[in-house]
Structure 1
Amino acid sequence: MTQLPTQADAIVVGTGAAGMSAAIRLKKLGLSPILLEKTDAFGGSTAVSGGAVWIPCNPHSAEVGHADDSKEAALTYLSAEMGNRMNAPLVNAFLDTGPEVVRFLETETEARFAARALGPDYHPDLPGGTLGGRVMDPLDYDARKLGSALSRLRKPIPEFTVLKGMMVGRTDLGQLPNMHRSLSSFVYTTRVVLRHLNDLLRFGRGTRSVMGNALAARLGKTVHDLGIPIYYESALAGLEQDETGRVQGVTVEQGGQTHRIATRHGVILASGGFPQSDSLRQQVMDHARNGGEHHSMSPMGNTGDGLTAAEAAGAIRGQNNLNAAFWTPVSKLRRPDGTKVPFPHLFLDRAKPGLIAVTADGQRFVNESASYHDFVSGMLRAMETGAKDFFLICDHRFIRRYGLGAVRPFPGRLSPFIRNGYVTQAASLADLGGALSLPADTFAQTVTRYNTDAATGTDTAFDKGGSAYNRYLGDPQNTPNPCLRPIDQGPFYALRIYPGDIGTSIGIVTNENAQVLDANGTPISGLYAAGNDMNSIMAGSYPGPGITLGPALTFGYIAASHLARNA
């Protein structure tokens, strides 16, 4: 364990996208920052995320046919999403600085991005919404370039990998399932698999980083190349202030000892929010407070250290957000060692044709092809009227073609998931409803109505497949609606799901410079917040893919720039 310093120009807490963006910017501006990391690996939530980065008018949008996007259109869209909750100064700072941040990262760091020509905002039919260009993906990265730091790169969630740790990216999703039907897919798959097997022999892990892991690896490479020290297993315990209230240092828990580190110029909090804190969740999530299950996909170390320390120093948390977190439905998967872990249902199954979601009363409650955030919002509304249990329902044709949660499409194995109870199988829909204790008549009516609608291509109950975003996630080979098909080919399957999240949206209130504010709206000198420690500029709404990482990179950069200007 590396001995902590007693002083630093600037202290950045957290090594996700926001923290590393801030540290790199500080270094490039001539300061000598340090990074504090609570766990034994760098990358934070970024390293286990999908990696999408939402920045309107980014430098790559024109390359994919969206040169007509504008700040005005983005403002219109965000205003339609947030209404009077929109903090105009913060949103303007993000929209004005975001493209600059992309150029900075691609010029000064290993980070590289590609915009999606087709990647709709989550509500593209709202004024100002677009079908592509605003969301970017990090390019895949050869993590062998990290050298000795490779062992510190946070590994992806095991259930998102194949063959003992081979990461699967967006390109892979189109190639791997077709390896038996396409020569080019077979060649692609063979090359990727052989590379991975070689990695296992040489490094004991996969090194072809994709999605969020690629972004973390790319930023981490620059952090290490610049000589910015990362102190691992060093948890923020508190902030120290002088007699004027200026933050002048931190206290850190490392190896059972408390250490003090003084800062010459300031502290930037980017520790990932509080999604893994039961006590903080219960303060802001009604269903958690009322005893309902809730599961987060964020790293276990994200327990609100930044928020707790900031509030003790006089900061306040956001009070007006639409939602407390960025929701996703999850199922619970039993690992071979017997432990249960959450598995997120982001987009690979729910929007596909031939699936519905029902409550324990046997009725649908939401458009299944809505964004993961909107889907859980539907669950929470149903819970307000008494619903407690939720299930995804599909038939055999569906589960073998598209998979279901952790169950992979054919040729992936299905029987182990039936044996361990992850999915429930029944010969008929009536038997399936009986196994789940659903009201027989209501459940039968629900499926009959859905199947009738599926045959016509119009979902009269919830308009599944009714938006461009819905159809983007459906099966384009299924007509007339890529999101609708009857559930009629036995056997039939059910999977229990729960509310979950990929991070908290409630955080520390800041101004447009990422300065932390006190109850009077006055900046606390020397203290900044970014990433999920910062109250979301989206006010708890979820306008599109990457609306956490885009602002995280941007406000990490903004915080560092302001700190350096006032050093």
Structure 2
Amino acid sequence: MREMEADVIVVGGGAAGLAAAIAAAEQGAEVLVFEKANTTGGCANMAMGLLGVETKLQKDRLIDCTRESAFQKFMDYTHWRSDARLVKGYIDKSASTIAWLQDMGVKFALPSKYFPGSEATWHIVQPKTGAPGLRAAATMIKAMTDRAEELGVKICLDSPIQRILKEDGEVIGVVAKDGEGEISAYGSAVIIATGGFGDSPEFINKYTDYEWGKDLFSYRIPGLTGDGISMAWDAGAASDRMDMELVFFAPNTGGYAPVELPFRQPNLFVNLDGERFYDEAVVENPVFSVNAIARQRDRVAFSIIDDAILHQYEKNGLDLINVVTSNISMDDFKQEMQELIKNGNDVLFIADSIEELAAKTGIDKEGLEKTIADYNECCKFRDTMFNKNPKYLKPINGPKYYALKFAPSAYGSLGGIRINYKTEVLDKDNHVIPGLYAAGTDANSICNPDYVFVLPGNTLGFAVNSGRMAGENAIQFIKEHFSE
């Protein structure tokens, strides 16, 4: 078996792992990164941007979200279930992290809200070509990879980790494997940053309340199979809250598909019983909406419109847009709708009567007829059920009726490895496992019980910031424990 040595060993070459490697290398450490894929970045290559609070970009635009107000909003949102010191450290560090990335050559298009009720904390990466959108953060990953290599970080691709090595209770390295066989890599600190378990139906089914492919239709970024979490557990780490970064999409359409555009609006939403179940104006917050949908039978819901509403959206524009959907037009919708009609599908339903719509969707006919009749009466006066904003009350009279099926989805997983505010991994007695750190999605249990969409950019933001924290704290640990 071959051997390698370094001061710090990073398991995973995504956003958190690269941030950890750069932070450690900037302090003169020798760093090894083992990445099982053939490229760096992981799920960050699919992302758009990361959280920043009190950045220069915000101040230049008179965005007055402070670290204190962001921290309070975060903790209020989670009802103080989250580790307050970890959350505070992450938020307080976020502005310097944006500047740190800018120094690497990363450009940001703008600090943005996700939806009107959120804060403009989402620092969306400006790609070298094209408008900001999905996968924009791949440009950031390229800059981070270049910076890591410039600092002398050795990145070993196609080299999955097999296990963590311990001696006398302390972590001393890892065993990796590449095309030539196994490698024993020894170091004074190990940082786990493998991106979670979003590509593992087995993990999802076992550790969350969902069954993938049945009542959850989440993104599956290849390779995110919980490897780092399992290795940490095998090394004595305690498990922490595990969940999915829940949103809602039309099943099996890829998420934020053009066909969703006129349906991801404050239209009439019903469940399989044909009944309303929430104030549809809440649709702008994906987490609140998916929470409501997940309570319904079979965890599905239907957004219903008619010709008049569809034509109104085409003529006057949508009621609600966000940064993700702003680049999608109604022309895109019409093209995808025609393709779905031509090829057949199980999410978009078009009918000439309410009875036909009920038959096609599986919605209870009597329930749907009563709900639409009651809803049309509300549109004349006010919503007596949920007090929905009158500007969103649009009667449904046909002659054609349209319904799109929605179900829980997720961008990826959240949590698994218990850490403290220094990103040190803890055992089941909440004692530190010396030399072992975790960052990014593997350890992201701060969004508890829900993803904090009111401060957008949390997943990538926590990944990069916790990675920096882990790299810096690992160096501090080495200085305190191994200096002569």
Report the TM-score when normalising by structure 2: 0.84
The Cα of 1:522 is off from its aligned counterpart by 1.5
2:169 equivalent in structure 1: 245
- Aligned equivalent of 1:169: 132
Give SS of 2:10's match. Answer: strand
The separation in 2 between residues aligned to 1:216 and 1:502, in whole angstroms, is 18
After superposition, the Cα gap between the structure-2 partners of 1:219 and 1:5, relative to the gap in structure 1 and judged at 3 Å, is farther
The counterpart of 1:409, out of the listed 319, 330, 341, is: 330
Structure 1 Cα separation of the partners of residues 204 and 377 of structure 2: 41
Given the alignment, which residue of 10, 15, 18 partners 2:16?
A: 18
Q: For residue 237 of structure 2, what is the aligned residue in structure 1?
A: 315
Please tell me the root mean square deviation across aligned C-alpha atoms, in Å.
Answer: 3.2
Report what 1:77 is aligned to. Answer: 73
Is contact 1:60–1:133 with CA below 8 Å preserved after alignment? Answer: no
- Of 118, 138, 161 in structure 1, the residue corresponding to residue 125 of structure 2 is 138
The equivalent of 2:481 in structure 1 is none
C-alpha contact (below 8 Å) 1:248/1:264 kept by paired residues:
yes
Counterpart-to-counterpart distance in 2, 1:23 and 1:344: 33
Query: Which of these residues, 219, 222, 229, is aligned with residue 144 of structure 2?
Result: 219
Q: Is residue 510–residue 535 contact of structure 1 (8 Å, CA) maintained in 2?
A: no
Contact 2:237 2:427 (8 Å CA) reproduced: yes
- Shift in Å at residue 106 of structure 1? 1.8
| 1:60/1:114 contact within 8 Å kept | no
Asked if 1:395 is matched to 2:306, the reply is yes
Q: How many angstroms does 1:365 deviate by?
A: 2.6
Q: 1:550 to 1:449 in 2, by over 3 A?
A: farther
Q: Which letter does structure 2 place at the counterpart of 1:352?
A: Q
Cα displacement string for residues 102-152 of structure 1 (whole angstroms, at most 9, x for unaligned residues): 222222x12233543x62678x5xxxxxx544222112225xxxxxxxxxx
User: Cα offset for 1:521?
Assistant: 1.3
Tell me which residue corresponds to 1:538. 447
2:475 alignment counterpart: 564
The 3-state SS of whatever aligns with 2:458 is coil
- Kept in 2: contact 1:455–1:485 (CA 8 A): no
Partner in structure 1 of residue 84 of structure 2: 88
> How many residues are treated as equivalent by the alignment?
459
**CA positional deviation for 1:348:** 4.9
Partner-residue secondary structure (3-state), 2:165: strand
Identify the structure with bigger relative contact order (alpha carbons < 8 Å, sequence gap 6+).
2
- The separation in 2 between residues aligned to 1:34 and 1:427, in whole angstroms, is 63
Aligned residue for 1:119?
A: 113
The more displaced of 276-285 and 310-319 is 276-285
Structure 1 segment 422-441 matched on structure 2, within 5 A: 422=345, 423-441=348-366
- TM-superposed CA distance for 1:75, in Å, is 2.5
* Structure 2 residues without counterparts, runs of 5 or longer: 479-484
Contact conserved, 2:51 with 2:94, CA < 8 A, in 1? Answer: no
Distance 1:429 1:5 in 2: 69
SS at match of 1:303: coil
Equivalent position of 1:360 in the other structure: 272
CA contact (8 A) 2:30 2:152 kept: no
Preserved CA contact (<8 Å) 1:359 1:387: no
User: What pairs with 1:225-240 in structure 2 (closer than 5 Å)?
Assistant: 225-240=150-165
**Shift, 1:305, TM fit:** 0.6
SS of match in other structure, 2:70: helix
Gaps of 5+ in 1: 125-130, 143-166, 171-208, 334-340, 467-479
Cα offsets for 1:233-275 (capped at 9, x unmatched): 2222211111x221112122434x7523323222211111112
Match of 1:549 among 440, 460, 475: 460
Q: Which residue of 2 aligns with 1:503?
A: 412
Residue from 37, 40, 44 that aligns with 2:38: 40
CA distance in 1, matches of 2:380, 2:30: 64
SS at match of 1:554: helix
**1:550 maps to amino acid:** G
Q: Partners of 2:385 and 2:457 in 1: how far apart?
A: 29
Give the residue type in structure 2 aligned to 1:565.
Q
Q: Does the 8 Å contact 1:330/1:500 carry over to 2?
A: yes
Deviation at 1:493, TM superposition (A): 2.4
Aligned to 1:199: none
- 1:330 maps to which of 234, 249, 264: 249
C-alpha change, 1:311 and 1:140, in structure 2 (3 Å) is same
> Aligned residue for 1:274?
197
Is the counterpart of residue 66 in structure 1 residue 63 in structure 2? yes
In the alignment, which residue of structure 2 is the partner of 1:57?
A: 54
What is the rounded CA distance, in whole Å, between the counterparts of 1:283 and 1:410 in structure 2?
A: 41
* Cα distance, 1:502–1:120 mapped onto 2, change above 3 Å: closer
2:296 paired with 1:372: no
Mark the CA change 1:238 to 1:449 in structure 2 (over 3 Å): closer, same or farther.
farther
CA distance in structure 2 between the partners assigned to 1:454 and 1:18 by the alignment = 49
What is the CA–CA distance in structure 2 between the aligned matches of 1:381 and 1:26, rounded to whole Å?
Answer: 45
- In 2, Cα distance between equivalents of 1:292 and 1:210: 27
| Partner of residue 482, structure 2 | none
| Shift, 1:10, TM fit | 1.9
Aligned-pair identity (%)? 26
Instruction: Name the SS of the counterpart of 1:234 in structure 2.
Output: coil
